[in-house]
Amino acid sequence: MEEIIRARGHEHVSATHASTFEVTSDDWLTPAGDCILAVEADRTPADFDREFVAACRDSDARIVAAFEAGERTETVVGRGHPELSFEDDRSAVGRTSDYVDDRTIMVGAEKAAEGFDREFVAALSDGAEVTVTLSVEPADGKGEQDR
């Protein structure tokens, strides 16, 4: 199962946050937003299919966020959590911790914003268009092709 978000970078993207990464539907960003990778997202967690959300609520589910900006790609792997609600209508946040709120799209992420390749971050700070593909593999290990 997949959900796709299209957004763009911003001149203030610094990607220096140590425990989260974020994509927001806001059209602005201040230098203080050090976890934000992209703005003007065309979709938010509140828009995601309920079946996708249900699959992410399994603590054993594997969630992958694949970021593509031009020819550059970055991937973050995390996991699901029973309390994921996907109710926020503004931002999608991946977390290295187990903290969950209505913006959280994965917990236990293998990296946060500071872990993104600096060339990728430079492209985002130059305003590159970015596509974020979120996919979830249920705990049974069977992807769409196996069902």
The residue with tokens 């992209």 is 38
From residue 115, alpha-carbon distances to 20, 74, 121 in Å are 10, 10, 10
Given 2.40.420.20, 2.60.120.630, 3.20.20.80, 1.10.3720.10, which CATH number is that of 2-138? 2.60.120.630
Q: What is the pLDDT of residues 36-78, one digit of tens each?
A: 999 999 999 999 999 999 999 999 999 999 999 999 999 999 9
CA-based radius of gyration for the chain:
14
Q: Using CA atoms, how far apart are residues 36 and 51, in angstroms rounded to an integer?
A: 27
**Confidence (pLDDT) at 146:** 45
List the one residue out of 98, 119, 118, 88 whose CA is nearest residue 22. 88
Closest CA to 129 of 64, 68, 74, 42: 68
- The mean pLDDT of 111-138, rounded to a whole number, is 97
